[in-house]
C-alpha cells in the first residue's frame, strides 16, 4: 500500500473558541490539542511526511514549539493564507508524497483506523472523504424561515477529516479554484467542483472538531484526562476618592458613570481583583500581590482586565479549567445593576469561558460600615476549577 503525506492546516485564530486563547494550545492529558493531532499521524505506519500550515505571524515561534514534540516523521512548515482554502493551497506546495491526507488540526481524536481507511481507499480513488451518517432529521429552510423541504436522512452524511487525494490532482484543483475566484468550505468540495467523484469512507462520531470550550471538555473525556475539583475564594477592598473626578470608577472592566473612583496602584478594579485572587487561590498559585506587586511601576494604573487575562493564561498553562465564578460587589452607590451584563461578558471574554459561567451581583449594606458611608467598596468572589492530574 502506498504511503501518504499528512497536511495539517493550523493557521486559524480560534475566533469561535475564544478571543484570547488558541484552542490548538489547550491541553488534555498533558498534551496540547495540536500535539495530539500530529502524533496521531506521526505514529501511523501509512504516513511518510507531515506538513503543518501555521499562522505567518507566529510561524517561527510555533514551528519551534512543534519541533519540541520530537516527532519521528519528517515535518515541514508552510505559512497560512487569508482563509483555510488559501492555507491548504500553501501547504500543498510543500507536499512531496503522491498521496495526501488533509486533516483539521482541531480534530485531535482521529483514529488510526480512519487514517488507514482513507489511505487504502486512495489506492483506487483520486479523492476520499471521512463521513458519518447524519442522525438528526435535516430541514431545508426558506428565506422566511419556514421549512422548504425535508431531505431523506438515509442519504445524508456529515463531512469530517481526513480528506484524502492524489496530490497532483488536488493541487491543480486548488489552483484552478483560486484562479476562478471560487471559495469552498472543505477540500472535498474543491474536488467536486473540479469534476471528480469523492468516495465516502467511514468516519467516527468521536472524531469531533473542537470549536467551542464544550467540545474541549468532551475531548478531555476521550483523552482520559483525570481532573480534580478545587475551590477558591477572593476578597478585595479599595477606598473611594474624596474628590469628584480624581479617579475613574472601573468595575469588571466597565467604566461606570460616577464621579468618585477607587484608589489603588492599578485601576483599582475591586471586582476583577477579587476574581483573580479566587482563581489563583484555587490553583494554589499565590495571590495578585505576589504576581503583580504594587511596588512594580509596570502595573501603575494598568487595566486589570489585562492582568485577569494573564491569570487565565497561567491557569491554562497549569492544566486548570474554570468551571464557574460567583462574585458580589458591596457598595452603597452607584446603582450597578445596569452594568452587570457587560461585567460578566468582560470577565468571561478575558478568561475564554462562557458568560453563563460568570455570576456578578451587587448589594448595599443599608448605609452600615465604610461601604454604607460610601468611603470604599469591597468585592468577594468564589470559583470552582478543574485541575488536570496525570
> Which single residue is written with the C-alpha cell 504576581?
291
Q: DSSP letters along 131-155, please?
A: EEE--SPP-EEPTTSSEEE---GGG
Domain 4-222 -> CATH class: alpha beta
Q: Note the pLDDT tens digit of each residue in 314-352.
A: 998 888 889 999 999 999 999 999 999 999 999 999 998
Q: Find how far residue 152's CA is from the centre of its chain.
A: 35
- Secondary structure class of 387 (helix, strand, coil): strand
Half-sphere exposure of 76 (CA within 13 A, CB side): 15
Q: Regarding the domain delimited by 226-389, which CATH topology (the fold level of the hierarchy) does it fall under?
A: 60s Ribosomal Protein L30; Chain: A; (3.30.1330)
Q: Find how far residue 164's CA is from the centre of its chain.
A: 26
306 contacts 20 by C-beta, under 8 angstroms: no
Q: Note the pLDDT tens digit of each residue in 222-236.
A: 887 667 899 999 999
The answer to whether the peptide bond before residue 334 is cis (omega within 30 degrees of 0) is yes
Residue span(s) of the chain under CATH 3.30.1330.50 come to: 226-389
Grid cell locating 201: 469512507
C-alpha to C-alpha distance for 280 and 312, rounded to whole angstroms: 9
The answer to whether the peptide bond before residue 88 is cis (omega within 30 degrees of 0) is no
236 contacts 328 by C-beta, under 8 angstroms: no
Residue span(s) of the chain under CATH 3.90.550.10 come to: 4-222
For the segment 356-384, the average pLDDT, to the nearest whole number, is: 96
- Secondary structure class of 99 (helix, strand, coil): strand
Q: DSSP letters along 148-211, please?
A: EE---GGG-EEEEEEEEEEHHHHHHHHHHHHHTT---SSHHHHHHHTT---EEEE--TT-----
Q: Note the pLDDT tens digit of each residue in 30-88.
A: 889 999 999 999 999 999 999 999 999 999 999 999 999 999 999 999 999 999 999 99
- Secondary structure class of 361 (helix, strand, coil): strand
H or E element in which residue 9 lies:
strand 4-10
Q: DSSP letters along 249-318, please?
A: EEETTEEES-S--B-SSS---HHHHHHHHHHHHHTT---HHHHS-TT-GGGTT--HHHHHHHHHHHHHHT
For the segment 93-119, the average pLDDT, to the nearest whole number, is: 96
315 contacts 385 by C-beta, under 8 angstroms: yes
Grid cell locating 261: 473612583
At 390, the pLDDT band (50, 70, 90 cuts) reads low
Distances in Å between the Cα of 152 and the Cα atoms of 148, 338, 341, 352 are 13, 48, 43, 39
pLDDT over 70, % of the chain: 98
Amino acid at each position: 500500500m502506498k504511503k501518504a503525506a499528512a497536511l495539517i492546516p493550523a493557521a486559524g485564530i480560534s475566533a469561535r473558541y475564544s478571543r484570547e486563547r488558541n484552542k490548538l494550545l489547550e491541553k488534555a492529558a498533558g498534551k496540547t490539542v495540536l500535539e495530539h493531532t500530529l502524533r496521531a499521524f506521526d505514529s501511523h505506519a501509512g504516513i511518510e511526511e507531515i506538513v503543518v500550515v501555521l499562522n505567518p505571524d507566529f510561524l517561527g515561534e510555533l514551528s519551534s514549539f512543534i519541533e519540541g514534540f520530537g516527532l519521528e516523521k519528517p515535518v515541514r512548515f508552510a505559512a497560512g493564507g487569508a482563509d483555510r482554502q488559501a492555507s491548504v493551497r500553501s501547504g500543498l506546495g510543500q507536499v512531496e508524497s503522491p498521496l495526501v491526507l488533509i486533516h483539521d488540526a482541531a480534530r485531535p481524536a482521529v483514529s488510526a483506523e480512519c487514517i488507514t481507511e482513507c489511505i487504502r481507499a486512495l489506492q483506487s480513488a483520486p479523492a476520499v472523504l471521512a463521513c458519518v451518517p447524519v442522525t438528526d432529521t435535516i430541514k431545508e429552510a426558506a428565506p422566511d424561515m419556514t421549512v422548504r423541504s425535508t431531505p431523506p436522512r438515509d442519504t445524508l452524511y456529515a463531512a469530517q477529516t481526513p480528506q484524502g487525494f492524489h496530490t497532483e490532482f488536488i493541487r491543480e484543483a486548488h489552483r484552478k479554484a483560486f484562479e476562478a475566484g471560487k471559495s469552498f468550505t472543505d477540500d472535498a468540495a474543491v474536488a467536486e467542483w473540479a469534476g471528480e467523484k469523492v468516495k465516502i469512507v467511514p468516519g467516527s462520531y468521536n472524531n469531533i472538531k473542537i470549536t467551542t470550550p464544550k467540545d474541549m471538555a468532551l475531548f478531555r473525556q476521550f483523552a482520559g484526562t483525570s481532573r480534580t475539583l478545587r475551590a477558591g475564594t477572593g476578597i478585595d477592598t479599595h477606598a473611594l476618592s474624596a474628590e469628584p473626578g480624581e479617579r475613574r470608577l472601573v468595575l469588571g472592566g466597565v467604566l461606570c458613570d460616577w464621579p468618585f473612583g477607587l484608589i489603588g496602584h492599578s485601576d483599582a478594579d475591586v471586582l476583577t481583583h477579587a476574581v483573580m485572587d479566587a482563581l489563583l487561590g484555587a490553583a494554589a498559585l499565590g495571590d495578585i500581590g505576589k504576581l503583580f506587586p504594587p511596588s512594580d511601576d509596570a502595573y501603575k494604573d494598568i487595566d486589570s482586565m489585562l492582568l485577569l487575562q494573564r491569570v487565565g493564561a497561567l491557569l491554562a498553562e497549569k492544566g486548570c479549567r474554570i468551571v464557574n465564578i460567583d462574585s458580589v460587589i458591596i457598595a452603597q452607590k452607584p446603582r450597578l445593576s445596569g452594568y452587570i451584563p457587560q461585567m460578566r461578558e468582560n470577565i468571561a471574554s478575558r478568561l475564554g469561558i462562557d458568560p453563563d459561567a460568570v455570576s456578578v451581583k451587587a448589594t448595599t449594606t443599608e448605609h452600615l460600615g465604610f461601604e454604607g458611608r460610601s468611603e470604599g467598596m469591597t468585592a468577594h468572589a468564589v470559583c470552582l476549577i478543574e485541575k488536570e492530574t496525570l
